[in-house]
Structure 1
Amino acid sequence: MSGLLYPYQQRWLEDDSRFKIGMFARQTGKTFTTTLEIAQDVAFAELEKRRVRWVILSRGERQAKEAMDEGVKLHLRALNAGFESMETDFRLSDKTTVRALEVATTNGSKITALPANPDTARGFSANVFLDEFAFHKDSHAIWRALFPVVSKPGLKLRVTSTPNGKGNKFYELMTGEADIWSRHVVDIYRAVKDGLPRDIAALKEALNDDDAWRQEYELEWLDEASAWLPWELINGVEHDQAGIPELYAGGPCYVGIDIGRRKDLFVIWVFELVGDVLWTRQVIERRGASFAEQDQLLDEVFSRYRVMRCCMDKTGMGEKPVEDAQRRHGSTRVEGVLFTSPNKLTLATVGKQRFEDKGLRIPMGNQALRADLHKLQKVAGPTGAPRFVAESDAGGHADRAWACFLACNAAETGPVEYAYHPVPNKNSMRGNRRSL
């Protein structure tokens, strides 16, 4: 199978170092190649009548399933290695479980794929593959829990990712000086030179985001100093069950709307309050939508969800949409917010507090949304007063981030309490009079 790989993949596959780490540009096959290494190790063990154990820790359940289905199982079938597959519940606590995917061979070798978590990293003595490690929540805690797992002589550790800022363990490992690590770096230029069929100019033009291009394709470590929401905060609230409207459980909802008509996006962000956590249920984005379409989208949100409060950007062209929404849905539920500097500071502060407290959940792996949240910067204005900036580009000027912050602000009121007091009917009132 190695003959089907590009040279940079072959170099990674053939490197048998005990501790191996690779920084690869997006969509260059890092997971595919590493799961091939795992499958080959299992297949060779079968031939030699021995057992091996591998654990794959991915960003979430969906990514773990992709690594297993589109990587491990695919390779094992190609290698004609017999196996059985199963799914089980892996208990993290009395209240929390995650899905564990496992394949087992005839001779007893096993490969388990799990969402990364300090608790899932414990309890094994196995070879380990950390997939997209820079994006794992609590990467330092995962690392401390994980390393004893591979302490037994001969066990291997594989770590791959694209960069994700400097505040994570992957950055420390890649930039460290320890010679024990075999390090591989494959940016988009190296991959294309080795034969990967990509049109670099077209990719860069279509992405139209210099920071994202530098980080995800040129593998630069971007400075986090000016970002209002560092990558670590964004990583910490991602969940693969967020952003799925079908998971709405009927709870109170809070909505934020950033108004855009031509160049910028029109964004509706819907949170459902579950316990004390705001779960993203839906993020609606439109570019160039007419005001009539925007009204229709908002009406559908009010129809589908139990909206307690909605905060809308009423700056500039937003005045009329806000007035129209208040007329249709009530001024007690719809509030217009002017994007003045003090108001933006309040919105951003409320939003950031939610990220720091892990009081919300956002969709996992949505690159456009992640970039929007991260591109917002707080800078000093000419008078020294703070202001927020984000380069206006094809992805808007952080429209998704402001819709998120508006929804967080809407939730600051908490759920509205309703009380029911029955009104006595006329007969009961007469009876009361007679008894007096």
Structure 2
Amino acid sequence: MKLAEVLLPYQQRWVGDRSRVRVWEKSRRIGASYCEALQSAMEAAKSREAGGQDTFYLSYNKEMTQTFIRDCAFWAKVFNMVADEAEEVVLRDEDRDITVYRIRFASGFNVWGLPSEPRSLRSKQGRVILDEAAFVDDLPELMKAAFALLMWGGSVSILSTHNGEDNAFNELIKDIRAGNKKYSLHRTTLDDAIADGLFKTICKSGRPPKPWSAEAEEAWRAGIIADYGDGADEELFCIPNRSSGAYLTASMIEACMEDAPVITWTEPAADFVDWPLHIAETWTKGWIEENFAPLLAVLPEEQSHFCGVDFGRSGDLSVFWPATEQRDLRLTPPFVLELRNCPHRTQQQILFAILDKLPRFSGVSLDARGNGSALAEACRQQYGQGLVREVMISEGWYRETMPLLKSGIEDRTLILPKDSGILSDFRSLRVVKGVARLPEQRTKDKTGGRHGDSVIACAMMLDARKELAAYEPWDYVGVPLEGFDLAGWR
């Protein structure tokens, strides 16, 4: 029997992930512990030469531990692994006796079910599973104890539904998304599981089996959501509770602000869009030379440079946010450029003028939604897809990118221009259902409306640094053959 026959795609992805530390942000009742039990049995059944090892399972209550051990025993029988029956063992401890659960395999390895206490992992070696980690008493201490096993080639799996915005598990998730923790992260909501066939599997395994239909699936989904009521977002859709309000405070933002120019382009005449192309380009070239060409000319040649673009035309601003990656890894903008009512052809001319002059230009990410797709596509054609990312902003993009922005502000490695409009943009971020994003409302300033345009451009710059920084253009330098004796070379 193959794994694809017994596990759904999201479970296969988890089992196939061989990272030393894996974290799974998940909905309830999607079979996460079930597939962990399968992997634990498979690892324990291997010989030492084949890489077999013990597994230590810890959760916050006894019933979950018993269920996990029973699932391991079930998988051992399904795959004909030679193992004893599950047993309850009392271990003598200096403070008190501890009841644990164990399955012994013919390989000599075991699967253990232990209490969720750091001392349970003393002097152990192998795999550690921290199940429903958001509900244990002291997750940081438990993780510290578990990570000690990594020294000897083990692995740590941390999986849980959410238990509040301020919970240590949610803080771990945010650290991973911000790039502060280099762990593997999986996320599976109820809808993700349904899309991968969860309800179809439930229908097949029912007693008796039931036929699947889209109508039955929708009714089942609605019933599950109704059962959880106000807790559905947290329990089923990976959105921690008590998650609303401003994402960044004014004091946090202002602490990262330094003197850097914010340059504003406005149309020189109401009919500028109708000017002949050569006249418009000549005027724009002069404007570029006057306003920011000198700032580009003094950028450090040895440092990498990135750029982010948020596109707007007549309603919103377009914002170009170049940045120098300093030796201490701070990201500093030589300037930020805001364009209001700027024609498409002029935006392209100005953007290319910036990117052409950035030393060690290492990547640009652009908002490619709607009309922004034309500028993003032209940029890709000019500089190549290795240096250009066309981003379709979505909730997933907000979820992955905004923690990078917040982390940079908290660490003061992200420098912002000291400007009231930029302060307003960054303060406009709101947490909606656990994800920081821009609200629909627009703010007003003395020159017109704003819609968080500069914060999106800055986040795009961070996106470029994260996704494109590994790209390094290179040229082949050949060896001159003049005077080289090919006949004598073998």
TM-score, length of structure 2 as denominator length = 0.42
With the length of structure 1 as denominator, give the TM-score of the two structures.
Answer: 0.47
